[in-house]
Structure formats: C-alpha cells, structure tokens
C-alpha cells in the first residue's frame, strides 16, 4: 500500500513537471507594454548613444530589430536605419551612432532632428514595443566653425538650359573642410514650393568651395500638369552644419529634353524654337517635340562649345568694371566663363528678377539699391552688360523668351492638333478620376458585409476603370499611328 502511494505521488509530480515543461516551451515572446529608453536626451552628429530596454516576456534569446526614424508631422517619420539585437536576460543595451549620412537621410533639418526607436521581433510576428521618447540629434558637433557663404547655379555650355543639361551647383563656404552638404532642388510655384530632386556633396580639405553636377530632370515631378506645361523655376538650398544658403533661380522649359524650348504650352507651336537659337516652321502633322533633336547645340554637354550650336566660351576676369579676356592680365584673378563676343564689355551688377530675367543696376551699384526689381532677390552678381534684360544662358546676339503661347492666338493648325490637345487633357484628368473610383470601389468592398451585391458593384467599377484607362491609352497610340500613315502617304 505504501509503495502504491509513493508511486502515485511520484507520478503526480512527473505529470505536473511535464505540464509545466510544455507550457514553458510553448510560451510566446511578447514586447507589449515595454518602452525602450535613450541614455541621453541630446547628442551631436558622430556621437554614440545607448538605447536600453528590458527583454520582454519570454523573449530571452529572441532576435529583434531596432528601426530608427526621424520624427515628421503628419507623415509618421522618415526611416533612417535598422540596428539588430538579440535579447539577453536583464537590461539590454544597443549602441547606436548617428552619422552625417543618417542626418541627411532623416530629412537634413537646419539645426536638429528628433529621432525615435521602434523595436520589433525578427521576424515581425507580434506587437512592437512602445515607441521610445524623442532623442535630439544636433546637426553639427559643438565648436564647429563651418559657415556657408554662397550658392549659385553654373554651366559650361552656351545653349539654353533644357531638361538633360548638366548644371553645376556651386557652394562657397569657410571652415567646412570635409563637411557633407545636402542639396535640395526646389520648384518655385504659386502656393507651396516642393522638392523636385536632391543631391549631396562633400567639401575637400580646404573647405571653401563645393561643385556638384546635377543633370536637369523632372523624374520626381508627380504633377501631370506642371511636368508638361510652362517652365520649371528652380532654385537649390545647400544645408550643412545647421546652416542653409539659397541660390538664385534658373528657368528650364518643360518638354525641352529634345531641344524645343517653346513646346510647353499644351498647343503645338507654329514656329518651334530650339536650344541653339534655331527657329523651325512646323509643317502639318509634324511633331514639334522632336523637331529640334539636331538643334540642341551643346545643351547636353559639360564641355564649352562642344555642340553644333553657338559656343566659344572663354575665361575672363573683371578689371575696372570691364571683362578682360587676356590670360596674362587675369593671372591670379578670379575668372568666369563668358562668350568671346562679351570681351571688353562692361560688367554690370545684376539680379534675377521675378520673371527669371537679368535686371541690372542703372548706376552699376553692387548693392542694387537703384533697381527695385532686385529688392530681396540676392545674391547679386556681375554679368556682361549686353545680357541685361535677357534670360540666363542667352548671348548678346540672341534673346529667348520662355513664354506660354496664348491658346487663342492662332489656335490649332490641324485636326491632329485638336485631337492631340483633347487626348492629352483627357489623359491628365483620367488619372485622378481613376484613383477616386478605385478608392470608392474599395470602400464598397470594405462595407459590403454579407451583401454580395455591393461586392459585385465594386468589382464592376474597377473593371470599368481599367477598361476606360486602356481605351484612353490605346486611343493616343492610334492618333500617332494615323499621323504616321498620313505622313508616309504624303511622302509617296
């Protein structure tokens, strides 16, 4: 009897132990209700900081990922980087260093960024930890002397700047040796300006001048209207060491990648103007966008005068308010590229006015105090006096206006012009309408519940939207095909 009691007791203990083993083995790691914390509240670029956290319930030995974000209002934050960690018993510390590249990736604010950590399991199969508090990351180390002193556009070609042109962003500074500079190219529009593109560069050991080449493009322009009509009014902002400097504005015509500088009004121009100064009369059914492919000049080149268009740029310095092109006289003096026809001409103080043209001081005053068009539009620069009143990039003997053709002046010249205009605007309107209908269809599906009729209605809407877009796209292709057939017939 005693033996039976002992065996029963031993069996009960084994059963309890087995149940406890199974429960522990099958327990789920949870990070809920745990908040990581920074060991500092403020650091500078290049500093290391510790993110400390408990391992979570049943999480010892589990792998996790720490995602670092820069805080942004209304956008949820900009992702910066990910740091892996394996949970150990007790407190877990992750060493994190913030570099200049991290700062730029996080948005490159002028003075500081607030960053936070989001901790999740790897693989991500459960709730995340509570978001950490903000850590302030200053844009520069204490005691830094880097100061930006100027920012300007520059180019080596002599034709009109167009899409695809290599354009240089020149940033001048003092004490910025080996500093990284963020360069954001902005589109100046009515309302809120937006970033069209971005780049970055690094000062050399002198820290005085930075030259970053940017090929003009509109690949990040999400507006179906502005990407095909009017001009791009572009300026860039250089940011380093918590300081910013804004350049002047250059104007690049939309739809100019093939050399046409007045194909930006929505209507085909009767006379096509090319980047090298050539004017070509458009014939019936001719495509204005491709008529200047042989008249781009050197607008796509980074070498002065390398294209078939006007060239002949020379180095010149300014002596007694005149451009001198003699190498001996200019030895040791600052030089710039000008057209050879501008040698020995007056160097006029100027700004770029609201219309994108050079406005000059009548009395040639460096502070432009006698030119109201230049109020608040610095920095002021010296240019050949023959360029006053012209757009940047024009020469003394050529003047180009980037104007939007009046749709009522002359009007379409052929039925294909009318069809092309209508189809283009239909396409521009169809995209946002398609998005609206698809969102409405998604709403119907989400709220359908047990009602299959709503699901079918939503599917029908999506199918109709796809068919409508296909018809619009195929229709534009048919227009091009018909034009090609007619042109071939005319040649025969």
The pLDDT value recorded for residue 211 is 92
Residues 131 and 157 in one domain: no
User: Using one digit for the tens of pLDDT, what is the confidence trace for 322-367?
Assistant: 888 887 888 888 887 776 667 788 899 988 887 777 889 989 888 8
Residues 172 and 269 in one domain: yes
- State pTM to two decimals: 0.41
The three-state secondary structure class of 63 is: strand
Number of Cβ atoms within 10 Å of the Cβ of 329: 12
The pLDDT value recorded for residue 412 is 58
- Could you check whether the bond before residue 123 is cis, i.e. omega within 30 degrees of 0? yes
Plot region of 148 (φ>0 → left; ψ -120 to 50 → alpha; else → beta):
beta
Residues 372 and 441 in one domain: no
Residue 232 lies in a domain: yes
Residues 85 and 214 in one domain: no
Residues 156 and 262 in one domain: yes
Residue 124 lies in a domain: yes
For the segment 432-450, the average pLDDT, to the nearest whole number, is 85
Residue 203 sits in a domain whose CATH number is 2.60.40.1930
**Spacing of C-alpha 446 from chain mean position:** 35
Per-residue tokens: 45: 């670029």
User: Using one digit for the tens of pLDDT, what is the confidence trace for 399-411?
Assistant: 344 445 545 444 5
Q: Which domain holds residue 59?
A: 37-138
The pLDDT value recorded for residue 24 is 40
Q: Which of 235, 257, 290 is the last residue of a domain?
A: 290
The pLDDT value recorded for residue 483 is 67
Residue 308 lies in a domain: no
* Bigger pLDDT: 16 vs 344: 344
Residues 269 and 189 in one domain: yes
Residue 399 lies in a domain: no
Residues 181 and 259 in one domain: yes
The pLDDT value recorded for residue 75 is 57
Residue 269 lies in a domain: yes
Kindly state the DSSP code that residue 290 receives in the 8-state scheme: G
Q: Which of 138, 173, 198 is the last residue of a domain?
A: 138
Residue 410 lies in a domain: no
Residue 17 lies in a domain: no
pLDDT band at 4 (very low <50, low <70, confident <90, very high): very low
| Closest by CA position to 482, among listed 416, 406, 436 | 416
pLDDT at 275 over 60: yes
The three-state secondary structure class of 492 is: coil
Least confident range of 39-48, 325-334, 391-400 = 391-400
Q: Which of 387, 403, 426 is the last residue of a domain?
A: 387
Beta strand spans in 131-269 (E): 135-138, 147-154, 166-174, 180-187, 194-202, 209-215, 231-240, 243-246, 250-253
Residue 405 lies in a domain: no
Task: Tally the domains of the chain.
Answer: 4
Residues 187 and 257 in one domain: yes
Which value, to the nearest 10 degrees, does the dihedral of the CA atoms of residues 170, 174, 175, 180 take? -20
Residues 349 and 482 in one domain: no
Residues 286 and 201 in one domain: yes
Residues 231 and 103 in one domain: no
Cβ-in-10-Å burial (0-12, 13-18, 19+) of 32 comes to exposed
User: Using one digit for the tens of pLDDT, what is the confidence trace for 162-219?
Assistant: 999 999 999 999 888 888 888 999 888 877 788 888 888 988 888 899 999 999 998 7
Residues 177 and 132 in one domain: no
């Amino acid at each position: 009897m005693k033996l039976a009691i002992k065996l029963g007791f031993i069996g009960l203990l084994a059963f309890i132990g087995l149940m406890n083993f199974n429960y522990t083995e099958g327990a789920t790691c949870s990070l809920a209700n745990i908040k990581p914390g920074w060991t500092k509240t403020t650091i500078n670029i290049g500093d290391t900081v510790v993110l400390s956290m408990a391992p979570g319930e049943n999480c010892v030995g589990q792998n996790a990922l720490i995602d670092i974000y820069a805080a942004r209002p209304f956008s949820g934050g900009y992702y910066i980087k990910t740091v892996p960690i394996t949970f150990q018993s007790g407190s877990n510390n992750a060493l994190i260093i913030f570099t200049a590249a991290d700062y730029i990736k996080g948005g490159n604010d002028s003075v500081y960024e607030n960053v936070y950590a989001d901790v999740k399991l790897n693989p991500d199969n459960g709730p995340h930890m509570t978001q950490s508090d903000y850590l302030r990351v200053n844009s520069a180390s204490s005691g830094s002397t880097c100061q930006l002193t100027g920012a300007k556009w520059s180019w080596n070609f002599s034709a009109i700047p167009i899409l695809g042109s290599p354009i240089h962003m020149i940033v001048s500074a003092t004490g910025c040796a080996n500093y990284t500079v963020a360069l954001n190219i902005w589109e100046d529009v009515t309302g809120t300006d937006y970033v069209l593109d971005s780049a970055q560069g690094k000062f050399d050991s002198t820290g005085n001048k930075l030259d970053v080449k940017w090929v003009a493009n509109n690949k990040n322009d999400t507006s179906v209207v502005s990407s095909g009509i009017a001009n791009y009014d572009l300026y860039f902002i250089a940011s380093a060491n918590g300081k910013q400097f804004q350049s002047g504005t250059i104007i690049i015509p939309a739809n100019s990648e093939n050399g046409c500088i007045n194909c930006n009004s929505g209507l085909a121009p009767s006379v096509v103007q090319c980047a090298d100064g050539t004017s070509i009369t458009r014939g019936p059914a001719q495509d204005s966008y491709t008529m200047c492919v042989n008249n781009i000049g050197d607008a796509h080149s980074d070498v002065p005068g390398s294209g078939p268009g006007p060239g002949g740029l020379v180095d010149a310095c300014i002596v007694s308010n005149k451009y001198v092109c003699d190498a001996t006289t200019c030895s040791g003096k600052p030089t710039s590229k000008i057209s050879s026809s501008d040698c020995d001409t007056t160097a006029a103080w100027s700004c770029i006015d609201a219309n994108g043209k050079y406005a000059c001081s009548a009395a040639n005053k460096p502070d432009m105090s006698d030119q109201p068009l230049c109020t608040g539009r610095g920095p002021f620069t010296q240019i050949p006096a023959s360029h006053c009143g012209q757009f940047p990039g024009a020469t003394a003997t050529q003047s180009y206006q980037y104007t939007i053709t009046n749709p009522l002046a002359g009007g379409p010249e052929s039925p294909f012009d009318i069809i092309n205009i209508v189809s283009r605007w239909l396409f521009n309107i169809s995209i946002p309408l398609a998005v609206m209908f698809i969102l409405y269809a998604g709403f119907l599906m989400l709220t359908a519940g047990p009602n299959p009729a709503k699901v079918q209605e939503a599917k029908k809407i999506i199918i109709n939207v796809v068919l409508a877009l296909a018809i619009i796209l195929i229709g534009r292709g048919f227009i091009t095909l018909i034009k090609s057939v007619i042109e071939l017939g005319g040649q025969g």
